[in-house]
Chain A
Amino acid sequence: EAQVTQNPRYLITVTGKKLTVTCSQNMNHEYMSWYRQDPGLGLRQIYYSMNVEVTDKGDVPEGYKVSRKEKRNFPLILESPSPNQTSLYFCASSLGSGRGGSDTQYFGPGTRLTVL
């Protein structure tokens, strides 16, 4: 089954404790992206990757890191989480053909992160 998986689905942590949210897709997609969703703000893009070893900042990259060492994986790293990073996080992927991000983006199920 074609899908985007994220782990963990739920995470409660404390300020300053490094964490990684994993994202994996099995569709051989070139393009992957991370979003955060907050009430009243909709979805905001954090980082995206157009291919292996190619990443770029989205609209709200501060406090986050990403890496794309393999095509299928795109982990989101919070080196020193803070309470304002409490949010619902989504990973997405798409084929990455000529239309780029306007390809059909497949979203993962979400990771609900709480930073105390």
Chain B
Amino acid sequence: GQQLNQSPQSMFIQEGEDVSMNCTSSSIFNTWLWYKQDPGEGPVLLIALYKAGELTSNGRLTAQFGITRKDSFLNISASIPSDVGIYFCAGPPLTGAGSYQLTFGKGTKLSVIP
């Protein structure tokens, strides 16, 4: 299947700092999704992006759909301890089945130092 390259793999930041992570693909995506997984839980959708160039915010989170449709980034401003977790990008590959499959990046593990 298609692969999503997510970076960085892990981050250690000080509380209050801003965070940026990104996701790239060798092929075009029509949708970019960002999920967060808390320890011991299933992933939860944070932001969905549907148009190239789209910039969407959800509280302290901002995500953008790259113009080339091959990348996306997620920013977290003024990080707090509860931001700890694994962040995944995901998207449906362009297959004959439509957008029913999701490919996930390998995740960015975020640690926040109080």
Contact = CB atoms under 8 A, between A and B. Distances in A.
A43 B99 contact: no
B42 A48 contact: no
A102 B33 contact: yes
Contacts of A35: 104
Interface in B91-114: 91-92, 97-107
Interface stretch (A13-21, A62-70, A71-79, A104-112): A104-112
B42 A104 contact: no
A41 B106 contact: yes
A100 interface: yes
A102 B104 contact: no
Contacts of B48: 102, 104
Interface in A85-116: 90, 92, 96, 99-102, 104-105, 107-110
B45 interface: yes
Interface of A: 4, 31, 33, 35, 40-45, 48, 50, 56, 58-59, 90, 92, 96, 99-102, 104-105, 107-110
